[in-house]
Amino acid sequence: MDIRKSLKLVLAFASALIFAACGNGSSDNESAGQADTDETRSYSVGVVGDVTAEIWEDVATRLEDQGIDLKVVTFSEYSQPNRALEDGELDLNAFQHISFLSAYAKDLGDSQITPIAYTIVSPMYIFAVPEITDVESIPDGVTVAVSNSATNAERAFLGLQDIGLIKLDEEAGFAPTKADVVENTKNINIIEMDPAQIARSLGDADLITIGGDMLMDAGLDPEDAIYTDTDDASNIDPVKKNIIATTKDKLDNPDIQAIVAAYQSDETKAKIEEISGGSSIPIWTAEDNPQADYEKELAEN
């Protein structure tokens, strides 16, 4: 064979190999880029109570199509989710209202937690042992369980005043505590405990005061309550609306915003109404500004 022909064949074969290699490299790069695009991003949200967890599990399922893997972490005590969020163990939590977060931040002194959205409002209910069928049949000397968190107990004390069991100092305003009880007209015994434990105390306590977000976990029916402080969520002070909270460095994270949007949806409203039996009321609107409400609460209290 002519040397020049042989050289041409070798060069042609080498060119073919180079072209094929370049083509495969491009394909591999495209696949790698696609893998990066399709990679699941993982986040976690902390809640208290099985009913709230069920609502968030539904949200998590709907986020899968957006490449977001949202883990729902259920806590048993109200003292835990903020600490976990502050320590970086969570990306969000959803268990508290603004008043609770404000009290936590003031106690800590340098909290990085901030509200990002409203979720629900939970009416406060009073349940009684079977012997007490209504407010009028409450005898003297009963034991009443209330939250040991001042920010959760406010509505309980106002409710106890509303049904005539106690009288509060007029200067206490809308944030009374046990120390503000100036008259105990029926000599009731007020026991303070973690709000997550209150429902199971019914029986040991004659009356319990409990938020709607906790009563469904305990198997209580809101229709069996002898008192509730509201049937109209529009009457609730913004600082008593429950929130989704995150840390300040995550406020502009598009995935965090996507999680909020997935929660604040018609699908979530339907789920809340389905499983809460009216004990939790969806409360978010397009005009909400929970961060401004939070800053105002911090400044005023």
Residue 291 and residue 280 share a domain: yes
Contact 116, 251 (CB under 8 A): yes
* Residue 240 and residue 112 share a domain: yes
Confirm whether pTM is higher than 0.85.
Answer: no
Domain range for residue 188?
Answer: 124-229
* Cβ-contact 130, 102 below 8 angstroms: no
Domain-ending residue, one of 229, 262, 288? 229
Domain of 149, CATH number, reads 3.40.190.10
Evaluate the CA torsion angle 176, 282, 77, 109 in order and state its sign. Answer: negative
* Amino acid symbol at 119: T
| Domain shared by 112 and 247, yes or no | yes
- The answer on 271 and 204 residing in a single domain is no
Examine residue 22 and state whether it is found in any structural domain, yes or no.
no
If asked whether residues 150 and 243 sit together in one domain, one would say no
Give the per-residue SS3 of 245-265: EEEHHHCCCHHHHHHHHHHCC
Burial class (CB in 10 A: 0-12, 13-18, 19+), 135: middle
257 and 131 together in one domain? no
Kindly state whether residues 134 and 216 are assigned to the same domain: yes
pLDDT (tens digit, 0 to 9) for every residue of the chain, 301 residues total? 444 444 343 334 344 433 333 333 333 333 333 334 468 999 999 999 888 999 999 999 999 999 999 999 999 888 899 999 999 999 999 999 998 999 899 989 889 999 999 999 988 899 999 999 999 999 999 999 999 887 678 889 989 999 999 999 988 766 688 999 999 989 999 999 988 889 999 999 999 999 887 777 778 888 999 999 876 666 678 888 999 999 999 999 999 999 999 999 999 999 999 988 778 899 999 999 999 999 999 998 7
Whether 172 and 202 share a structural domain: yes
- Among residues 184, 212, 229, which one ends one of the domains? 229
Q: Which of 269, 232, 281, 298 is nearest to 58 (CA)?
A: 269
Domain end marker among 210, 229, 248: 229
Of 121, 52, 113, nearest in space to 245 by CA:
113
189 domain residue, yes or no: yes
Per DSSP, helices labelled H in the chain are 3-38, 50-63, 80-86, 98-108, 150-162, 212-215, 254-263, 266-276, 290-300
Q: Are 240 and 108 found together in one domain?
A: yes
- Work out how many domains the chain is built from and give that number: 2
Clarify whether residues 201 and 60 are in a common domain: no
Listing DSSP states for 15-79 in one string gives HHHHHHHHHHHHHHHHHHHHHHHHPPEEEEEEEESHHHHHHHHHHHHHHGGGTEEEEEEEESSTT
Which residue, among 264, 63, 47, has the nearest Cα to 272 in the 3D structure?
264
Same domain? For 242 and 275 the reply is: yes
